[in-house]
Structure 1
């Protein structure tokens, strides 16, 4: 069928596949390096305990067959190796069916990780990576031109990602309608980057322009994805510019990078390179793509209903395979930034004069004089959850006490998640946590003190605690 494929998108597919493979690599490496303290056998939320209480249909995973930390690490590093191979273009060396299987394996492995990741893997970009990764299985390799239907389904994901984020803002916080949310967002976002201080200090009229441009890009431009070229490519270019702006202004793991990769799949890159002559798609492949399209159409009902609902949900999966999801971000923007500072003391009996030394995290604000670093697309899971815990203790109910216990025990896997441990020789006798209000300093304060943040004590988050 001539209409089935679109050879003009051969180069777009190639760039998309290599970009997706790179993000898979980041995700698997992050899982391998962080899982022991978070969900390992001795972690804060152990996988075996989770699997014992959750039925298979709610969390399908290869770890139902067997779980050990060594097996988990093997799966994560195997996924990283496969992603590196896909990044190098190994799928192009295989027959079409072999390339599809090669793309399917990392999807199965990462689905298995997400479905046992619990709180640590409850972010929208996990579902987004899985949804896009599943579609990539059917995108083909150099033995066939890109299928039109799969390219359309990728645009459908991008549409829901952008339009869902736009609607949740318009329906949510009034500051989005007043164009004032960015007076606060760069300062109160989960994990600021090295340029966030400078973005926050931009003139307020420019912040209003930012907010207005965001509404246009997320509420109007997505509809142009389904128009003929070159209009669709112009829409994609606007989305990419917006995503790069977000990448520069904060750390949102691979969310923005994956949006860029998705957008590339809709670009017409034929002016850069003439597509090669490719054979017609085999019948079995056409049947699989048609079945995929029907499945996605059926599963899209609930996400579409959510988009049209006045009680729109953000970042929700409607099936345990994360095949078609709903997305959204920052329906509410905080006006004040709170941070939890975790400290320890060697004193067996804490006194007023006791010396408390702070643990420093890799990404979240701590020492006021330390400029934030750029970590995205890498995801620091503990740092992100500390931001949620500062919003409300309810977010930390299941894992914060186990975290403190591991600090008191000097657990090496937990300490590897931190930037600095002030007790290198022996664990502290007591650990406490205090809540502070943080705000970006002004230009004058920065020149005078060298501090990027100014902080004020609010209250105790956790009183001095020792091992039972």
Structure 2
């Protein structure tokens, strides 16, 4: 007879919430130091112009108040306007408040509740809305979707409560974390092949990736130069297996399969962290992995004897035939998957070169047929899993609880959160179905599809497709800004803090901070100035010598510009990693056509852009005692933590590292015999 027992997920839940708080703290702090240069009145994309656009487009704009705009378009910045703050000051205040919430919830278990996580989500949502192009990355929407799940997961968190020892609904809502991890990895793997990018199909993508990614690390140089060609191809096969195949193990009834999937994804994220600067994205994915584990998976790490002993007791009560069937099923599935991997990628050991040959042994049509079947299978497995968890916990609530009130309270909780989880899960089916090439509307209820499109602007459920196509196959394109006192030169280069420019400068370690200007410069090199409207604003700000914008660049290297240049131009290069023993990390080849022809403050094209987009040079306001309290506080606080005084990566690490050390010291301290409680 099958035993209906509620799985303990308190440790995984607290670990997940703690990790989400850490990612929020990193995101808010990293955002904070870049606000003046990116979104200030003298920034590249002044946020007040963007926020005013809705009011100006309204027919009744003169009568529209900030509260009315908040009702029609919920955003924290509208409320802060009512408190007397400008848009930029509202963004600064939102970052500071979000950082305080994040640090408290990371440090203190009792502060991890619905109000705290709801506040952090709303603050970051408001910042993403005002961030425009510079906050259009997939990790920003991933943080919003994960943060929304944290609101659902954390609402009834009473650490010292004795009313209900086991929260039956915890296992229900934690399943959503597991499915988000599945969706992220599966979609990221499928789009690599469905995009028809030739490098992903011939398994050569990683021979370009380390060199052409946005901001590589020094390890990327060694990986690109030292790793043999056959291992690069085999690594692509491993990426496909980890991202497309192993995520299905998350739904397996066999614990070893679930752990294999989670640990494989963590391994992939660690490799990406070592080879590339992808801010908090990889850390957030690892947080999803840790939230997908069960409490018993933490027992070995935390040495909790009492709980580990109870877990072994449950195992001993399992019939021998059941354990044998589980082991047989495990080996059958593993051997079957290994067989198809060898066959589909033609893996063959080459004895002459001691290498493993690999190549794709299927067509795009065959792969698309597999995707169609895999999506249907994923929806079926996820639905069955959630229904089983909800039914099991409802039965346990009525069976195991003592007293009528406790039974009804536990059952109502489980049923309510089961309904919420069902809605969120079915909404997540909609973006996954977009991977297919056939009509699959019958797989998703109409109400869930309608809810998905209604809530799409709030980023409750999203689609993902990381590294869809490999760029820079013929060399990574890079834009180098040059200034001069004459239109004919000589020209002197401007250097950025992190992106490749100086040939002798080593690739930096900058993660988990994200320098958003450096990232957008990488995207701008893949496009043209006509499709990168902010680029001309950047040129204008450099010509006017705006310190907020120059602080986002390498001030030490650009000190040679004692005065703003009279002319500026953009030269496009192809950058390559050097090979062999050389003093430079990079070499480059100049393209014949300029990315941006020389412009000055009197150039008609630049003046037209500035006037059309209402770009102005604003004089900072003078401090006044008549200002509201919040504005006076921000005015006094801001200079001490300005990006001119401290770089974003140093600020992020200086605030986050002590908290991590404190948390690890508390968890692994021998003073506490049961350490899961102290996460």
TM-score (norm 2): 0.62
Which entry has the higher C-alpha Rg, 1 or 2? 2
Equivalent position of 2:520 in the other structure: 385
Shift of 1:372: 0.8
Q: CA deviation at 1:51?
A: 2.4
1:234 aligns with 2:274: no
Task: Indicate the residue corresponding to 1:111 in structure 2.
Answer: 125
Distance 1:252-1:324 versus aligned 2 partners, 3 A rule: same
Shift of 1:285: 4.8
Contact map agreement 1:303 1:325 (CA 8 A) in 2: yes
CA separation of 1:350/1:310 partners in 2, compared to 1, >3 Å: closer, same or farther? Answer: farther
Matched, 1:374 2:513: no
1:184 lines up with 2:312 in the alignment:
no
Distance 1:238 1:319 in 2: 31
Structure 1 position 287, deviation (Å):
5.6
Aligned twin of 2:483:
344
| Preserved contact between residue 184 and residue 333 of structure 1 (Cα < 8 Å) | yes
Q: Does 1:434 align with 2:574?
A: no
Is 1:245–2:271 an aligned residue pair?
A: yes
Match of 1:293 in 2: 421
Alignment pair present for 1:463 and 2:600? no
Structure 1 counterpart SS, 2:434: helix
CA deviation vs aligned residue, 1:332-381 (integer Å, no higher than 9, x gap): 11202110001112x2x333xx3322111122100011111111221111
Task: Quote the residue 2:142 is aligned against.
Answer: 128
Whole-angstrom distance in 1 between the partners of 2:271 and 2:534: 33
Distance 1:133 1:44, change over 3 A: same
- 2:532 corresponds to 1:397: yes
Aligned-pair CA distance for 1:177: 2.2
Distance 2:202 2:39 in 1: 42
Asked if 1:215 corresponds to 2:240, the answer is: yes
1:167 equivalent in structure 2: 190
Matched-pair contact (CA < 8 Å) for 2:173–2:418: no
List per-residue Cα deviations over 1:273-318 (Å, max 9, x = no partner): 44889x987567546523431331342242122132489xxxx997
Number of corresponding residues: 448
Tell me if 1:206 matches 2:231. Answer: yes
Maintained 8 Å contact 1:342/1:431: yes
1:270 alignment counterpart: 299
Corresponding residue number in structure 1 for 2:647: none
Q: Deviations over 1:84-110 (max 9, x none)?
A: 111112xx335xxx7211111111100
One of 153, 163, 181 as aligned partner of 1:139:
153
Match status 1:194 vs 2:218: yes
3-state SS in 2 of match to 1:433: strand
CA distance in 2, matches of 1:114, 1:330: 22
Q: CA deviation at 1:328?
A: 1.0
Query: Deviation string for 1:401-429 (max 9, x for gaps)?
Result: 11111111111111111123244532111
The secondary structure found in structure 2 opposite 1:153 is helix
DSSP-derived class of the 1:115 partner: helix
Counterpart of 2:110 in structure 1 is 93
Partner Cα distance (2:35, 2:601) in 1:
23
Task: Report if aligned partners of 1:438, 1:453 keep a CA contact under 8 Å in 2.
Answer: yes
What do residues 105-163 of structure 1 show as CA deviations (whole Å, max 9, x unaligned)?
A: 11110011011111101100001001001111222333564711221101111111100
CA distance in 2, matches of 1:395, 1:289: 49
What does residue range 434-453 of structure 1 map to in structure 2 within 5 Å? Answer: 434-443=571-580, 447-448=581-582, 450-453=583-586
**C-alpha distance in structure 2 between counterparts of 1:79 and 1:393, whole Å:** 36
Q: Conserved in 1, the CA contact under 8 Å of 2:529 and 2:595?
A: no
- For 2:624, the equivalent position in structure 1 comes to none
Task: Tell me if structure 2 keeps the 8 A contact 1:360–1:419.
Answer: yes
Find out whether 1:64 has 2:192 as its counterpart. Answer: no
Which whole-Å CA distance do the structure 1 matches of 2:6 and 2:456 have between them? 29
Question: By how many angstroms is 1:16 displaced?
Answer: 2.0
SS at match of 1:164: helix
Checking the alignment, whether the CA contact within 8 Å between 2:176 and 2:425 is kept in structure 1 is no
Give the whole-Å Cα distance in 1 for the aligned partners of 2:523 and 2:534: 12
> More displaced, 284-293 or 231-240?
284-293
Distance 1:51 1:126, change over 3 A: same
Q: Is there any run of 5+ residues in structure 2 with no aligned partner, and where?
A: 56-68, 311-400, 440-451, 603-679
State the superposition RMSD in angstroms: 2.6
Counterpart contact for 1:341–1:359, Cα < 8 Å: yes
3-state DSSP class of the match of 2:153?
A: coil
Partner of 1:24: 24
CA distance in 1, matches of 2:553, 2:416: 46
Q: Distance in 2 between matches of 1:38 and 1:4?
A: 53
- Give yes or no for the alignment of 1:148 onto 2:148: no
Query: Per the alignment, do residues 4 and 328 of structure 1 end up closer, same or farther by CA in structure 2, a change over 3 Å counting?
Result: farther
**More displaced 10-residue stretch of structure 1: 29-38 or 119-128:** 29-38
Asked whether the 8 Å contact 1:58–1:320 carries over to 2, the reply is no
Question: Partners of 1:289 and 1:424 in 2: how far apart?
Answer: 60
Q: Does 1:15 find its partner at 2:15?
A: yes
Residue 6 (structure 1) shift: 3.2
**Does the CA contact (< 8 Å) of 1:362 and 1:419 recur in 2?**
yes
Q: Does the 8 Å CA contact 2:48/2:88 hold for their aligned counterparts?
A: no
For residues 244 and 289 of structure 2, the distance between their equivalents in structure 1, rounded to whole angstroms, comes to 16
Q: Look up the match of 2:587.
A: 454
Q: Is the 8 A contact 2:575 2:589 kept in 1?
A: yes
Secondary structure of 1:21 counterpart = helix
Answer whether contact 1:166 1:215 (CA < 8 A) is retained.
yes
Q: Which runs of 5+ in 1 are unaligned?
A: none
* Aligned mates of 1:39, 1:403 — CA distance in 2: 12
> In structure 2, which of residues 78, 82, 93 is the aligned counterpart of residue 74 of structure 1?
93
2:466 to 316, 320, 329: 329
- Distance in 2 separating the partners of 1:123 and 1:80: 20
Say if 1:110 and 1:149 are closer, same or farther in 2 by CA, change over 3 A. same
Q: How has the CA–CA distance of structure 1 residues 24 and 400 changed in structure 2, closer, same or farther, with 3 Å as cutoff?
A: same
Counterpart position of 2:435: 307
- The answer on whether the counterparts of 1:23 and 1:254 sit within 8 Å (CA) in structure 2 is yes
**Quick one: distance in 2 between partners of 1:132 and 1:152?**
13
TM-score calculated relative to the size of structure 1? 0.89
> CA offset at residue 238 of structure 1?
0.7
